[in-house]
Amino acid sequence: MKSRFAKLAIGTLVLALFTIQYGCQVVISSATNRLFKDLEASILNNDDPELIKAGIPPFLILLDGMLRQNPRDVSLLLVAAQLKSSFATAFIEDEDRQRRYATKAREHALTAACLDNTKLCDLDTKPFSEVESVIATLRESDLPLLYALTGAWSSWILVHSDDLRAVAQLSRVQTIVERMLELDETYEFGTPHMYMGVFKSLVPPALGGDSEQARYHFERAISLSKGKNLYAKVLFAERFARSTLDRELHDRLLAEVISADPTVEGLTLQNRLAQQRARELKDSADDFF
């Protein structure tokens, strides 16, 4: 199953690559380090998803070992959360493995949130009204944490979509995304709007879903990225056009994705994955519509 929610957070590979042992302490190189920046760019702009897929497992093993020694390290937990959720939804086909990786990713993200801010503890179990109140207090500096938490939690819901208890947590994730939109709607190429477009598409119009809001958020995500975030178009086609049976929109979006130049600074790898998914959707369109 391909990723349907989150941006592939492959840049987190760099954090693992730059994590080294120094005596009994774990040292992570500063993101301002020039070499770090260069390597991060090379991964994000890699046009070979298979190469990245093959390279992820060793880093997962490394991260797990480091977390055994440093279970309260927020940075490591967020790296592990993003990497495991991305690996599960983008590269793993087996449903049982998907669920195991996504579950661990969610645990990492929730733990990191709690360690970073005690008010964020138990976000998955505390009363919803308390979740809303706490999230409303967060600031722009919290965006990286919110982004990682949203990605891991959304991926977990996706791979447990047949479990009503998991689906019931969607409102909590949506609250986080709504706060991200308030803080910075442009964050990561407008990704908060892309998330919201998916959320608003989950309930078909015939059952009371708000298709106009879904369309707005997808179109806004595409606009903010100047059409360069190809996954926004793929999700627009898969989640919205298919749910509203809009074949014309569906085919137009996929054609645009397939014919686009995927090489975009910071998006190349994700765009390559988007093109793969677009071809799959195109091939199955006649059977769907």
Q: Which of 147, 151, 149 is nearest to 180 (CA)?
A: 147
Residues 13, 135 within the same domain: yes
C-alpha span between 162 and 5 (Å, rounded): 16
Q: Give first-to-last CA distance, the chain, whole Å.
A: 20
pLDDT at site 101: 96
165 and 244 belong to one structural domain: no
For residues 41 and 156, state if they share a domain. Answer: yes
Domain edge (last residue) among 159, 184, 209: 184
| Domain endpoint, select from 156, 184, 212 | 184
Instruction: Please indicate, yes or no, whether residues 95 and 108 belong to a single structural domain of this protein.
Output: yes
Rounded Cα distance between 165 and 217, Å, is 26
Tell me the residue ranges of DSSP E strands in 19-152.
19-22, 25-28
Asked whether residue 150 falls in the same domain as residue 220, the answer is no
Q: Residue 172 has what pLDDT?
A: 97
pTM comes to: 0.83
Q: What domain count does the chain have?
A: 2
- State which of 138, 166, 184 marks the end of a domain: 184
Q: Which of 149, 168, 166 is nearest to 158 (CA)?
A: 166
What confidence score (pLDDT) does residue 209 get? Answer: 73
Same domain, yes or no, for 83 and 119?
A: yes
CATH of the domain at 175: 1.25.40.920
b (16+ CB within 10 A) / e for 29-44: eeeeeeebeebbeebb
Give yes or no: residues 83 and 51 share one domain. Answer: yes
pLDDT value for 240: 95
156 with 192, same domain: the answer is: no
pLDDT digit string, tens, across residues 14-32: 333 333 332 333 334 344 3
pLDDT, position 41: 59
Bridge partners (DSSP) of residue 26 are: 21
Q: Which residue range(s) make up the domain with 225? A: 187-289
> Are 168 and 191 in the same domain?
no
Distance CA 242, CA 186 (A): 26
| Strand partners for 22 | 25
Q: What is the pLDDT of residue 13?
A: 40
Contact 11, 58 (CB under 8 A): no
Residue 145: count other Cβ atoms within 10 Å of its Cβ: 19
Residue type, 6: A
Low-confidence ranges of the chain (pLDDT < 50): 1-33, 35-36
CA dihedral 157, 159, 161, 164 (to 10 degrees): -60
Q: What is the pLDDT of residue 222?
A: 98
Question: According to the model, what pLDDT value does residue 8 have?
Answer: 39
What is the pLDDT of the chain when averaged over all its residues? 85
Task: Based on the fold, state whether residues 191 and 176 are members of the same structural domain.
Answer: no
From CA 80, how far away is CA 95, in angstroms rounded? 20
As a 3-state breakdown, the chain gives helix, strand, coil percent values, each rounded to 5, of 70, 5, 25
Backbone phi and psi for residue 19, each to the nearest 5 degrees, phi listed first: -90, 130
Q: Tell me: the pLDDT tens digits for 160-184? A: 988 999 999 999 999 999 999 999 9
Same domain, 178 and 193: no
Cα 88 from Cα 165, distance rounded (Å): 20
What amino acid is encoded at 239 in this protein?
A: R
Contact present, 238 and 288 (Cβ < 8 Å): no
At residue 38, the pLDDT reads: 59
- Do residues 193 and 278 both lie within one domain? yes
Contact 156, 82 (CB under 8 A): no
Q: Give CA–CA dist 231/10, Å, rounded.
A: 14
